[in-house]
Amino acid sequence: MTNQTEVSMGQHQTSRAKPVDVDAQKILIVDDESPMQLLAASIIERLGHTPVPVGSGEEAVEMFQKHAR
């Protein structure tokens, strides 16, 4: 027997992810492909956070150092 949040998949059971109660955060996205940046940014925005996309590791380090707390 499963409850509403569990789905039976053969011998495996999965449950839906529960929202995490956290303050909105800036999240650095590092990817050299724009479509992947856009996909990740879309998901991050839907979760209530602010995406910060960059295209390389060097840009990521610069952005992190510029905005580190």
User: Using one digit for the tens of pLDDT, what is the confidence trace for 44-62?
Assistant: 999 999 999 999 999 999 9
Instruction: Give the CATH class of 24-69.
Output: alpha beta
The helix/strand/coil state of 25 is coil
pLDDT at 29 over 70: yes
Under the banding of pLDDT at 50, 70 and 90, the label for residue 23 is confident
Give the C-alpha separation, 2 to 8, whole Å. 7
Two structure tokens written together for 4: 């509403």
